[in-house]
Amino acid sequence: MTPGVTRLRPWHAPALARSFILATGPREHVAPVAGPTPPAFMALAASVPGLVPDVQGYAAWANESLVGFALAEFVPDRRRANVSVLTIALSADDIAPDSVELAACSALLERLTADAGARGYVSVFVRLPRDSRFREVFGRLGFVGAVSEDVYTRRPGPTANPGPITGLRPAEQADAWDISQLYRTITPAALQLAESPGGERPSVPRRRLPLFGGGRAPQEFVVDGERGLDGWLRIHPGTRGRHTAALMVHPRRAALTRPLLGYAVWSLMDSGRLPVRVVVHAHEDTLRRAVEDENFVKTDEREVLVKHMSVRIAAEVPAQALDRATS
């Protein structure tokens, strides 16, 4: 049996409540969500038009029962869509997903990727645990691995006052070009193609509602060097029950990584005693050593998968779709 898929609407709230909010049965968060807000509540909010901008919800149905849901981020000024939530109800936790569960995952992905193509997006990406039991479904639908990444978390605790960092200052609007050049210099092409519309890197601004624990606005800093920017840092206090930090350092000043990370931890601890999260990609060996030296521990291992879309250029394709496909 192939589950049917519809867009989430307000009148689906009772089914969401029965199957995923009040129910205690097993379910798998195929695309895990970090933070305190349960995915079902995020889906409930996304079912109300206009409440969560740029997010579309989808529901999978089997025998008139809700068996799964997904949320996709369609940010208007980006060419890449993001599967931010994908949750499937399971018959049991300790066995492999059955045919209906695999079919529900497949049907949700097929529907949202079709919508992405119709809207003119050139790729869709999703983050999965490296040992995901649903990995084969994505492979059959054309998703390929782009990059692996590890999530490191530091528990709240005292930290030493950071020493002075030569050239460190708050980022300004005029730094945007230099930041983008630093990003392109140090980031592999595969990761650039897979970056999230909701990611923490400088190429993609975050869009979050306070309803979902967006916390305070992030702060950005840059480090001036003799030949342009040598570093960039973003700290985001109180993001979904935790602090987050992201940084880039030019290879010519690799020794800057540890002091910049220390400054980030010290600044965030001053904003509240919450865990600090840093994402380390496979190529970032210097950052990996720095987070381990700063008492971060690895808490998650993920793989970024990407499906590149084919956009058919025809008279009925909206102008904005053609712009995205050719820009």
**What pLDDT digit, counting tens, does each position of 271-317 carry?**
888 999 999 998 899 999 999 999 999 999 999 999 988 655 554 55
Q: Stretch 242-257: mean pLDDT, rounded?
A: 93
Q: Is the pLDDT of residue 76 over 90?
A: no
More confident residue, 32 or 221: 221
| Overall number of domains in the chain | 2
Beta-carbon contacts of residue 201 (< 8 Å; ≥ 6 apart): 183, 187, 195, 246, 248
- Domain residues for the domain of 14 are 4-122+309-326
Residues 144, 227: Cα–Cα separation, whole Å = 37
Task: Classify burial at 64, counting beta carbons within 10 Å of its beta carbon; exposed 0-12, middle 13-18, buried 19 or more.
Answer: exposed
166 with 298, same domain: the answer is: yes
Are 314 and 260 contained in the same domain?
A: no
Residue 21 half-sphere exposure toward CB, CA atoms < 13 A: 14
Q: Quick one: 98 and 192 in the same domain?
A: no
Same domain, 80 and 220: no
pTM: 0.79
Farthest-apart Cα atoms in the chain, separation: 65
Residues 277 and 316 in one domain: no
pLDDT band at 269, cuts 50/70/90? confident
Q: Is 133 a domain residue?
A: no
Backbone angles phi, psi at 268, to 5 degrees: -70, -35
Tell whether 67 is covered by a domain. yes
Give the CATH number of the domain where residue 240 resides. Answer: 3.40.630.30
